[in-house]
Chains A and B, each alone.
Chain A
Amino acid sequence: MRYIRLHKIFIAQYLKKLMEYKADFLLGAIGLLLTQVFQLAFLGIIFSQIPALIGWSFQEILFIYGFSLIAKTLDHLFTDNLWMVGYRIIRKGEFDKYLTRPINTLYHVIAENFCVDALGEMLTCILLLAYSIPSLDMPFHWYTIPLWIVVAVFATLIYTSLKIMTAAISFWTKASGHITHMLYMTNDFSKYPVSIYNKFVQTVITYVIPFAFTAYFPASYFLTGNNPWFCIGGTVIAGTVLFALALFIWHKGLSAYESAGS
């Protein structure tokens, strides 16, 4: 309860800050929106020449693409400050501050910043889903909407956990932003059906860096109703396991933290 109250306060503070830097946030959001628009233009050009991409129609591809943005956007919106841990906070000794506060350090770091720029991606996400879903004949049950929510939460956890783990590396190495970057970039693989990749890539994005569970697997379940246990269960398990591992590494890291300067 207390943390929810705190979160409200942090968001309120953040919105005040936002008002001060309106232009910056607007430009950032436009930039992210534009990136998505060009990506979609690319897909549009491809589908002007072929009817389907190894069995997936344009609408289905757009659905998977849009679906992949749900977790990415939520993670981007709420936990963007984790990037700063690996890039700056540890190296410059700014982490001291969090350790002198009577709240969970990980929570504090995450809550301190929101990235409203992510709204640019969120807009794309909503437009894509709203455009593709009506033309797709997707199975719908009473539990479909609760499942969407479950998937959104655990898929976001996959993103966030990977960022926590790689950020925590900087407790030992002082800086790890580049490692976060390297792992994070594999999320782009999840925008397309995994069947387009070779076995090696499929294995990696399913079992090692399970970004496939943030988009393709759950999206394919919602499209076809097939494989619920693997597609949804996998997302829940991957999110849970990764999050537990992330918390463990973070806490190990805290005791290895050496601050900076004399």
Chain B
Amino acid sequence: MENMIIAENLRKEFKKVIKEPGVKGAVKALFKPKKEIVTAVDDISFTVPKGEILGFIGPNGAGKSTVIKMLTGILMPTAGFCRINGKIPQEDRKNYVREIGVVFGQRTQLWWDLALRETYAVLKEIYQVPDEQYKKRMAFLNEVLELDSFITSPVRTLSLGQRMRADIAASLLHSPKVLFLDEPTIGLDVVVKENIRSAIKKINEEEGTTVILTTHDLADIELLCERIVMIDKGRKVFDGAISDLKHNFGDVRTLEFELVNGPDFKLLDYNRRFKLTQDDIHAERDGSMARVRFDTAKVSVENVVSYTLSTVHVKDLNIKDVEIEEIIKKLYRREVSL
């Protein structure tokens, strides 16, 4: 399949002025500022095929936003290049951005003091959407994002969830081929998150829009993306299918069981039994229910089950699948390396 996004050896350096304390430092900084070069993005390459939803993840300050800003043409790469939809963003910005949509979850692009529909009227002109197409598009976006109930309200009165839906609609008004979503679910409650996810999915499926999504909510990733690129300290640390990630980074499983006699729980001491730390195996009790999370690379499912059954009376038992969140948490803590 053809690649919609190609990033090759992207690199971004920022100059940072080092502030020295005191008046002397301030005077010195005024005439001869001491500068330090910070590499925010260091040699990142990846491609995204047309129609894919790519999860772009990494801890805070990893350089996610910087990459997104280079891809959207906001920042100039220090080295390397990217080509999206056959165009280099920095070369012909105005033509390039006509075919992309961008949402920065932390910041709105809506006109704060105006009724929401006015924002769309202005964007229609900015992107030169023909009347006929605009009507159809608004009807479609209304259906997917349910804007009807607040489209006549001033933007400043919208709730966070409404605002985010409105922002996503704004980025889709001109039917972009690529959609960049920088933390589109930040600060939203579970129901609204669910709403937004299904809208993204629907647009991707119906229109074949390529999507790059950064998020801290790994549920977004699990529900939307087939593939993820993970970066840390400006470098790429993983690029592949989510199933590969699970396979590569050991299986974290959760064993759930119901105790016949709740207080029996204290008889169980997995850490001593298997000589493992709390990170590798961890048990907690909630009434008569108990939950043990463990890393199958360190201890087998069989051993955990047999120890449990031999120590306490169990009414019911259930083993849950790997949770990607666990793997990524470990990666962030740098317990696993590549």
Which residue of B60, B75, B114 is within 8 Å of A16 (Cβ)? B114
Complex interface residues of chain B between 96 and 122 (CB less than 8 A to chain A): 97-98, 100, 102, 104, 106-107, 109, 111, 113-115, 118, 121-122
Q: What's the A-B contact tally at a CB cutoff of 8 Å?
A: 75
B72 within 8 A of A: yes
- Report chain A residues within 8 Å CB of B69: 96, 259
Tell whether A259 pairs with B127 under 8 Å between CB atoms, given A93-B107, A94-B107, A100-B100. no
Q: Are B74 and A2 in contact (CB under 8 A)?
A: no
Question: Are A5 and B125 within 8 A (Cβ)?
Answer: yes
Is the beta-carbon distance between A100 and B102 smaller than 8 angstroms? yes
- Is the beta-carbon distance between A13 and B118 smaller than 8 angstroms? yes
Closest Cβ of chain B to A169, distance in Å, is 15
Of the residues B65, B75, B102, B113, contact of A17 by C-beta under 8 Å: B113
User: Complex: how many Å from CA A20 to CA B153?
Assistant: 12
Closest A residue by C-beta to B63 = A262
CB of A9 within 8 Å of the partner chain: yes
The answer to whether B76 has its CB under 8 Å from any CB of chain A is: yes
Shortest Cβ distance from A34 into chain B, in angstroms? Answer: 26
Q: How far is the CA of A65 from the CA of B135 in the complex (A)?
A: 51
Q: Which 6 A-B pairs have the closest CB atoms?
A: A102-B98, A100-B102, A99-B74, A17-B113, A102-B94, A97-B109
A104 touches B74 (CB 8 A): no
Q: Out of B74, B75, B94, B104, which one reaches A103, CB within 8 Å? A: B94
Given the known A-B contacts A13-B122, A259-B75, are A20 and B107 also in contact in the complex, defined by CB atoms under 8 Å? no
Is the CB of A261 closer than 8 A to any CB of chain B? Answer: yes
- Interface size range of chain B in the complex: 35 or more
Shortest beta-carbon distance from B16 to chain A in Å? 10
- A21 close to chain B: CB less than 8 A: yes
Q: How distant is A4 from chain B, measured CB to nearest CB, in Å?
A: 11
Given contacts A13-B122, A103-B94, A259-B65, 14 further A-B contacts (CB under 8 A): A13-B121, A17-B111, A17-B114, A99-B73, A100-B73, A100-B102, A102-B98, A255-B76, A261-B106, A262-B60, A262-B61, A262-B62, A262-B64, A262-B65
Q: Which residue of B lies closest to A9 (CB)?
A: B125
Give the chain A neighbours of B125 by CB distance below 8 A. Answer: 5-6, 9
A99 touches B93 (CB 8 A): yes
Q: Is A87 an interface residue (CB 8 A)?
A: no
Residues of chain A within 8 A of B127, CB atoms compared: 102
- Of the candidates A21, A100, A258, A259, the one having the most CB atoms from chain B within 10 angstroms of its own CB is A100
Residues in A lying within 8 Å of B, measured CB to CB:
2, 5-6, 9-10, 13, 16-17, 20-21, 93-94, 96-97, 99-104, 108, 255, 257-259, 261-262
A102 touches B76 (CB 8 A): no
Known contacts A6-B126, A259-B69; is A100 also within 8 Å of B74 by CB?
yes
**A104 vs B126: C-alpha distance when bound (angstroms):** 10
State whether the Cβ of B254 lies closer than 8 Å to any Cβ in chain A.
Answer: no
Which residues of chain B are near A257, meaning CB under 8 Å?
74-75
Cross-chain pairs A/B with CB under 8 angstroms, 7 sampled = A93-B107, A94-B107, A96-B107, A100-B100, A101-B126, A102-B97, A262-B63
Neighbour of B97 across the interface among A6, A100, A255, CB < 8 A: A100
CB distance from B106 to the nearest CB of A (A): 8
**Chain A CB within 8 A of B128 CB:** yes
A residues less than 8 Å from B104 (CB atoms) = 96-97
- Chain B 154-194 near chain A by CB (<8 Å), digits 1 or 0: 10000000000000000000000000000000000000000
Give the residues in chain A near B40, CB-CB below 8 Å.
262
The interface residues of chain A lying within 8 Å CB-to-CB of B102 are 100
B14 within 8 A of A: yes
List chain B residues, Cβ under 8 A from A13. Answer: 111, 114, 118, 121-122
Residues A16 and B118 in contact, CB atoms below 8 Å apart: yes
Q: Give complex CA distance A13, B127 in Å.
A: 17
Are B93 and A97 in contact, CB atoms less than 8 angstroms apart?
A: no
**Given A100-B72, A102-B94, A259-B74: A2 and B14 within 8 A (CB)?**
no
Instruction: Find chain B residues with CB under 8 A from A10 CB.
Output: 122
B48 to chain A, nearest CB (A): 18
CB-CB nearest in chain A for B100 = A100
Q: Is B66 positioned at the interface, with any CB of A under 8 Å from its CB?
A: yes
- Contact indicator per residue, chain B 78-103, by CB within 8 Å of chain A (1) or not (0): 00000000000000011101101010
Closest A residue, CB atoms, query B64: A262
Which residue of B has the minimal Cβ distance to A6?
A: B125
When distances are taken between beta carbons in the complex, the residues of chain A under 8 Å from B14 are 258
- Asked if residues B109 and A2 are in contact (CB atoms below 8 Å), the reply is no
Q: Considering the chains assembled together, what is the distance between the CA atoms of A258 and B13 in angstroms?
A: 10
Contacts of B118 in A (CB 8 A): 13, 16
Question: Distance (Å) between the CB of B19 and the closest chain A CB?
Answer: 14
